Amino acid sequence: MEEIISMSHGNGGKKTSRLIDNIILPSFNNRELNILGDGALLNVSGSIAFSTDSFVIYPYFFPGGDIGKLSVCGTVNDLLMCGSVPKYLSLSLIIEEGFKIEDLKKIIDSISKTAKRANIKIVTGDTKVVDRGHGHGIYVNTAGIGERIEGIDLGRHRIEKGDKVIVSGSVGNHGVSILCARENLLEGNIISDCAPLNEVVNAALDFGQAIKILRDPTRGGVATTLNEFVENSSFSIELFEDKIPVDLNVKTACDLLGLDPLYSANEGKVLIVASADEADNIVNVLRKNEFSKDAEIIGEVVDYMPSKVILKSSFGGRRILDKLSHDILPRIC
């Protein structure tokens, strides 16, 4: 087997078959994938959630993960946010000519491990090779299918005055980690939070109708996602600055680099809007899980002005947090 990817690995002929049979399939030992022709045949019951994401992150290996882990977590988390149980994943690779096969193996291995952890099956896929200079090592697309959980109704329409805003843990880690990895800053001591959120979301959904909406604050960060919750609505969200968990090293890096953790991407966090009467119970339950041990109530839904996210400082000052409008970070996801 060669050591790097060449154009003929993407021509659909013998070398493509060999790449798929020797490098990709062995990691995904499941019946559906091995018999695949152009697609997988699957059984699902009732209604489903369907989501997709392309991952173009660079560097593709970073502290706390890699593009493979990220591409599984990203789609798994999106399916969870819809109130569904993630079941099936497609995997499509766009590999740049010259990419090391050793790195491809590591990424495939990471995809396989993360999929197992997230209890989702990779059932269909595609591999393309692009000429050198027309990629950035590897781009990965995943699309996923989840089975909707009955009796769950999530969405902006359920947000009401008095509801609490919960975050499952410290914010900004992924974005700051990638920036530091890319620029060789801070020696890799900021770790991406990249993680599948199955247990965290399941724990939250046990509270049934008390959960109004779920969303993972990825690109654009917490500030942008919360803006999407209240956009064109009669409500605003007031955030309590001193309640927002930010890891000390993330805070230090942000201070140093002039960044704002509220606009930095997260890949293993969830924002929850929940009924006021259950909010404390939800936080207490979340804190029992390793991926949400720092859960906090960070804000509440108010109606004294429409469609804004307002940050209330510990001194009582208020400022409006807009959606991300310019690039505070180089592209990271």
326 vs 183: CA distance, rounded Å? 20
| Shortest CB 177 distance to a second copy, Å | 17
What would the DSSP string read from start to end of 280-323? HHHHHHHTTSGGGTT-EEEEEEE-SSSS-EEEEPTTS-EEEEPP
Tell me the three state secondary structure of residue 269: coil
- Direct distance between the N- and C-terminal alpha carbons of the chain, in angstroms, rounded to an integer: 31
| Shortest CB 47 distance to a second copy, Å | 5
| Shortest CB 221 distance to a second copy, Å | 8
| Shortest CB 99 distance to a second copy, Å | 13
On the 0-12 / 13-18 / 19+ scale of CB atoms within 10 A, 14 is exposed
| Shortest CB 141 distance to a second copy, Å | 4
- Residue closer to a second copy by CB (options 61, 240) is 61
- Residue closer to a second copy by CB (options 20, 285) is 20
- Residue closer to a second copy by CB (options 64, 86) is 86
| Shortest CB 59 distance to a second copy, Å | 13
Unique residue bearing structure tokens 């309590």: 240
On the 0-12 / 13-18 / 19+ scale of CB atoms within 10 A, 38 is exposed
| Shortest CB 50 distance to a second copy, Å | 5
Residue 274 has, within 13 A of its CA and on its CB side, a CA count of: 25
Q: Is the dihedral of CA 296, 82, 174, 326 positive or negative?
A: negative
- Residue closer to a second copy by CB (options 131, 277) is 131
- Residue closer to a second copy by CB (options 8, 233) is 8
- Residue closer to a second copy by CB (options 293, 310) is 310
Which residues are within 8 A (CB) of 111 and not within 5 positions of it... i.e. 6 or more apart?
A: 27, 28, 68, 69, 71, 72, 91, 122, 140
Tell me the three state secondary structure of residue 39: coil
Q: What are phi and psi of 278, to 5 degrees?
A: -110, -5
- Residue closer to a second copy by CB (options 183, 280) is 183
Tell me the three state secondary structure of residue 202: helix
| Shortest CB 246 distance to a second copy, Å | 19
- Residue closer to a second copy by CB (options 210, 328) is 328
| Spatial CA neighbour of 68 closest among 163, 248, 254, 192 | 192
